[in-house]
Structure 1
Amino acid sequence: MNFSVTSYVTKSFSRVASRVGATLVLTAGLVAAGAGAAASNPTDVRYVSLGDSFTSGPSYDPFGGCPQLPYAWPKQFAAQWGLGGDWFDAACSGAVVDGRGTNTFGEQLGTARAALGPRTELVTIQFGGNETYGAAGRSAAWSMGLCIIDFVNGCNDPADPAAVRADAVTGAEMARRLTSGDSGDLIGEIRRAAPNARIALVGYPTILPPDSSVCAPVNGVEDPGFQPRAAYAHDVLQRIEGAQREAAGRLGLEFWSLKNATAGRDMCKPMGQRWITRVGDFHEELLPFHPTREGHAAQASALTSMRTG
């Protein structure tokens, strides 16, 4: 990678981080207010949400909490359902099923355990991107991100041996994580605590365009060919979707795919049409490669249709 490209990428991500930090300070009150039922830890509610940053929004709390954006899709989904405060959202940015440290799904379930009970009708789980697979040293998300900015080798195949191998992302492995991974038997615990609940794995929205490229603004100019060799990133995302679907089938869960509902709204569409942020989208309160405000709203509406359909 030459110096000018490296400098651009570094400065772009630094500006995004600064913007996100400032926004979180300015909107801390809104985030707390928007947490709704998640802040009150109710007992035996009708709906419980578990998830990662695509569920909570990629907010950050240096004190170890899990702030959630006030327009994150579970809040809009619960509002469309008319639940009032009869729901609980334990989703947390950076969450993993397999892995130690903070923001694990095991910790989320511990936080949500009182909210689960005989009245619980639905539990949604959105996960997969933060996991490491195989012998990889990095998560799928980081593997894709670093590969996309590898302009020397391209991103058709990752040159970094620490990257996740796409073929290691399987339904069998996801099912194992949900039942006997580092977070324990998540599905078994949910079923025991909420025996009448539907459990749905929620897929990710459409993030990349249908070809094998990735776009980005360069010096303020849209560059649709920012990374023309990005087959690996596309493959990993497709395999995560396929693995989620297969894991749901293996475990007797529902799988709610967002791909069709968000098709044509990927990060490479013009501003106003895209539902996924990217480097340089400073009008959003988010990090790149995550749903916009409109994206969260669209996901909530799509999932409402799946719940009632």
Structure 2
Amino acid sequence: MPLRRAALAASLLLTAVLVATGLTTPTLAAPAPDRALLSQTAERRAPLPYVALGDSYSAASGVLPLDPTAAVQCLRSTRNYPHVIAREIGARLTDVTCGGADTSDFFTAQYPGVPRQLDALSRRTRLVTMTIGGNDSGVFINAILRCGAEGTAALGRGNPCQRRYGDSFVRTIRRTTYPSIVKALRGVKRAAPNARVAIIGYPWILPRTRGCFPQMPVARGDVPYLRQLQTVLNDAVRRAAKATKVTYVNLNRVSEGHDACQRLGVRWVEPVVAGTNPVIVHPNALGERRMAQQVIRRMRLG
């Protein structure tokens, strides 16, 4: 028998023996799927669970159209910066922003049927944003309203608001608003321990000097006074973010030149007189879009 045929016959004989004795090479079972890896992959593919908290600057109060899912008192817009962010990054948004909210509304119901804002958070939440603090103790909004009344009575001359109220507003922000923001941020982090959290500063409402009486009925000498007050408020927000290891989105530089005294299409905040937002001294749709862009850039969400 030729050598090749002999080798082939021997090979066939060996195979037959192995089959008969059950010693054939076993079929390797497919490895069990890595459940942790599958879970991580599924999580990456699922929309990011995003919760938006905060006040009227977060809610875009007065900007149409209104969000039909929101309580009417909240005046929440579907064009607010949380909605813009969610559309841009494909997140699953839970929006509980509400006009008039202050930090206490994180912990207690703001209105009947409007739960405390922290109830929207959970361990599944992965992103949280907010603008908050401007309504605390009524100090910032009241300062604008009171200075507007003083400026109107003075026909835009002098600094009647500063002479009447001095540093009382600033003291309230430093002594009351700042610790309240810290408390709110700590509450957020406890309720959403797996989330990235950002707090956004307030865009400039007034220019550095002069103003634009009567569109913004603040006396010329009180414009730097209110501008400094907003500087102190934004600094309180920044310091609270640092104290709680939360991301601070600074709007000071990018909103310069976009205050309520600028023309339509440039300004991010609407003035008291001849504005497009019935909720005066609040952002317009352009301002909300620009705020969203800063959050996306600062948080590297794009």
Same fold flag (TM > 0.5): yes
Alpha-carbon distance in 2 for matches of 1:175, 1:277:
26
Query: 1:297 Cα deviation (Å)?
Result: 1.1
Contact 1:57/1:69 (8 A) holds in 2: yes
Contact 1:56/1:92 (8 A) holds in 2: yes
Whether 2:164 is the aligned partner of 1:159: answer: yes
Contact 2:51/2:120 (8 A) holds in 1: yes
Query: 1:233 Cα deviation (Å)?
Result: 1.1
Question: How do 1:1-309 and structure 2 match up within 5 A?
Answer: 46-59=49-62, 65-83=73-91, 86-98=92-104, 104-106=105-107, 107=109, 110-113=115-118, 115-132=120-137, 138-151=138-151, 152=154, 154-155=159-160, 157-160=162-165, 164-170=168-174, 173-178=176-181, 185-211=183-209, 213-217=210-214, 227-230=219-222, 231-282=224-275, 284-308=276-300
Alpha-carbon distance in 2 for matches of 1:52, 1:225:
24
For residues 234-264 of structure 1, give each alpha carbon's deviation from its aligned partner in whole angstroms, at most 9, with x where no partner exists.
1210100111111111122111111222221
For residues 151-182 of structure 1, give each alpha carbon's deviation from its aligned partner in whole angstroms, at most 9, with x where no partner exists.
34624615159x94213322x74452145xxx
Alpha-carbon distance in 1 for matches of 2:196, 2:206:
30
Percentage of pairs with the same residue: 25
Alpha-carbon distance in 2 for matches of 1:209, 1:94:
24
What secondary structure does 1:274 align onto?
A: coil
- Structure 1: gaps (5+ residues): 1-43, 99-103, 133-137, 180-184, 219-223
In structure 1, the residue matched to 2:21 is: none
Alpha-carbon distance in 2 for matches of 1:52, 1:158:
30
**Structure 1 residues 245 and 165: CA distance shift in structure 2, 3 A:** same
**TM-score of the pair, normalised by structure 1:** 0.67
Structural RMSD (CA): 3.1
In structure 1, the residue matched to 2:30 is: none
**TM-score of the pair, normalised by structure 2:** 0.69
Alpha-carbon distance in 2 for matches of 1:114, 1:149:
38
**Structure 1 residues 45 and 301: CA distance shift in structure 2, 3 A:** closer
Query: 1:80 Cα deviation (Å)?
Result: 0.9
Query: 1:308 Cα deviation (Å)?
Result: 0.6
1:126 alignment partner AA: T
What secondary structure does 1:258 align onto?
A: coil
Higher strand fraction (1 or 2): 1
Contact 2:203/2:251 (8 A) holds in 1: yes
Asked which structure has the greater CA Rg, the reply is 2
Aligned pair count reads 239
What secondary structure does 2:129 align onto?
A: strand
Contact 1:78/1:87 (8 A) holds in 2: yes
Alpha-carbon distance in 2 for matches of 1:273, 1:189:
36
- Structure 2: gaps (5+ residues): 1-46
Query: 1:65 Cα deviation (Å)?
Result: 3.8
Contact 1:278/1:287 (8 A) holds in 2: no
Alpha-carbon distance in 2 for matches of 1:289, 1:75:
21
Query: 1:217 Cα deviation (Å)?
Result: 4.3
